[in-house]
Amino acid sequence: MEKIISYPLSIVYYFFFLLWLVIFHPIQWFCFNVFGYNAHRLSVAYLNWFLVRTTHILGTSYHLKGMENIPDNKPLIIVANHQSLHDITTIIWFLRKAHPKFISKIELGKGIPSVSYNLKHGGSALIDRKDPKQALPEIKKVAELINNNNYSVVIFPEGTRSKTGAPKPFAVNGLKMLYKFAPDAYFLPITINNSWKMTKFGQFPLGLGNKLEFQIHEPMKISEYKFEEIFEKTEKVITENIKK
């Protein structure tokens, strides 16, 4: 029954989803080229407000715990498990004060209204996962950017989304580069639950009535840990809080 009801609701959802991407593309361009970084950042944040609110058509709700754990005016390496596109829109809107950038695959850097423009001009790292010589310098660049400006970077070390919610092993290299080149930063682990249910039928139709939960754990200052220790603690606290 849920799947049947979801067909018309998903059509309405995707209509508005694509509409916001198209509308905000020229808004982003104008903000970036006329008013600069901060105006562009705010335009991206409000785009994601519209994207988050549009999921209410599907009966989606959001619950974020641990917002008080986010350090003020500090560089952050936000590490999270990855379950769907909605992980990204939620983080951009609700953690907008942290100026989130992303470690993203290079293919997303062209062809997608609003999304590609933000990734190319907003300070994110576009990486070719098959080419370490290209990827690692890009990660180094974003690490130095957040370290020098008290921004944040979001990394999903599983690499690909979990289709069932079950965690995949965390990759080491990206986190190690961020650890090395953002020495003043904090690791901020986030556990995401139920986001995968949005696409449990695939990209169409979408799941209905899901409560997306984001648990923000206590931050860990890089300078107080060896990499192996902070990596292990981060992966453990994230995966132990994923609901089965």
202-218 mean pLDDT:
96
In this predicted structure, what is the pLDDT of residue 161?
A: 81
222-228 mean pLDDT:
96
**Cβ(71)–Cβ(186) under 8 Å?**
yes
In this predicted structure, what is the pLDDT of residue 228?
A: 97
Q: Which of 79, 55, 63, 24 shows the shortest CA–CA distance to 198?
A: 55
Tell me: pLDDT of 129 over 90: no
pLDDT tens, position by position, 149-187: 999 999 999 877 888 888 889 999 999 999 999 999 999
pLDDT tens, position by position, 53-70: 999 999 999 999 999 999
In this predicted structure, what is the pLDDT of residue 72?
A: 93
In this predicted structure, what is the pLDDT of residue 130?
A: 82
pLDDT tens, position by position, 87-119: 999 999 999 999 999 999 999 989 999 999 999
On whether the pTM is more than 0.85, the answer is yes
Cβ contacts of residue 43 below 8 Å, gap of 6+? 24, 27, 28, 31, 32
In this predicted structure, what is the pLDDT of residue 165?
A: 84
In this predicted structure, what is the pLDDT of residue 191?
A: 98
Give the dihedral sign, CA 117/119/121/127.
negative
The C-alpha atoms of residue 40 and residue 213 are separated, in whole angstroms, by: 28
47-56 mean pLDDT:
98
Tell me: pLDDT of 13 over 80: yes
In this predicted structure, what is the pLDDT of residue 115?
A: 96
CATH class of 2-240: alpha beta
Domain ranges of the chain: 2-240
187-204 mean pLDDT:
96
In this predicted structure, what is the pLDDT of residue 157?
A: 93
Work out the number of other CB atoms within 10 angstroms of the CB of residue 239: 17
The C-alpha atoms of residue 140 and residue 181 are separated, in whole angstroms, by: 6
The C-alpha atoms of residue 157 and residue 161 are separated, in whole angstroms, by: 10
**Cβ(136)–Cβ(60) under 8 Å?**
no
